[in-house]
Amino acid sequence: MRHDASPFMRSDVHESSMRAVACLLVCAVLIAPITSAGESGVNEDTTVEGTEIQEIIYPNEASSGTDFELTLALTEEASGNGTNVSWITQICINSGVCYAPESHSMLRNSDGGWEASIVPDDTVTYVNWRIELNWADGNKTSVPDTGFGWKVWSDCWYDSGEWGGSDQNCIDESSSEEDSGILPGFGVMASLLAISMAGLMGRRE
């Protein structure tokens, strides 16, 4: 006598299939290169005219393992009404991955300005950021209104199939690894893929 699979068995198969599809989609997103919207190696900034930011100072290159410092000054009105400043950064690395944005509270310095610093990853391609002003009444202003207004490239970047930056030693070493078949950041991507697949297999047992 023929017995059809029980609803519970069909449900388990369906869930396993959905997990497999989800896992593969996540891996594809992680492995797919993220190409910068602008021109490779060209820093970008946004105007602060008409905003409460008077001046903003930052390095013209990012270096792995080295403090990347940002300093800004607000208008007199904004400085005197209890405004706090947040620095929203996003670091992208040479494997083509961009990490999730992070918020950093800027501190008031002795000159009345605001400052903060981050330390980019070893394989940083560029750093994106925007500024958020948190008003005493609970409102918030973002500069720019949407997206990231600033982008600073590293001294050893890889983008759209080419290397660039001022650190020629780093570029030469990284190019040699690429020529030997080791893609930038491949180890990270391979590890993420292995972890994802291991999780899937573990759930199917």
Query: Which residue reads 């992070």 in tokens?
Result: 102
Task: Confirm whether 32 is domain-assigned.
Answer: yes
Asked whether 88 and 141 are in contact (CB, 8 A), the reply is no
Q: Is 19 contained in some domain? A: no
Q: Which pLDDT does position 27 carry in this prediction?
A: 45
Residue 22 lies in a domain: no
Residue 180 lies in a domain: yes
Sheet harboring 68-74: ordered strands across? 53-57, 68-74, 114-118, 107-108
Neighbour-count burial for 119-134, b at 16+ CB within 10 Å, e otherwise: ebbebbbbbbbbbebe
Q: Which domain holds residue 52?
A: 28-205
pLDDT of residue 158: 95
pLDDT tens digits, one per residue of 33-50: 444 457 999 999 999 999
Q: What is the pLDDT of residues 53-96, one digit of tens each?
A: 999 999 999 999 999 999 999 998 888 888 999 999 999 999 99
What's the token pair of residue 71?
């300093």
Q: Is residue 2 part of a domain?
A: no
Distant-in-sequence, close-in-space partners of 185: CB < 8 Å, separation ≥ 6: 93, 94, 95, 96, 97, 123
Q: Is the pLDDT of residue 4 over 90?
A: no
Give per-residue pLDDT as tens, 136-151: 888 999 999 999 999 9
Whether 5 is covered by a domain: the verdict is no
| Overall number of domains in the chain | 1
CATH number of the domain residue 155 falls in: 2.60.40.10
Q: Does residue 118 belong to any structural domain of this protein?
A: yes
Please check whether residue 9 lies inside any domain of the structure. no
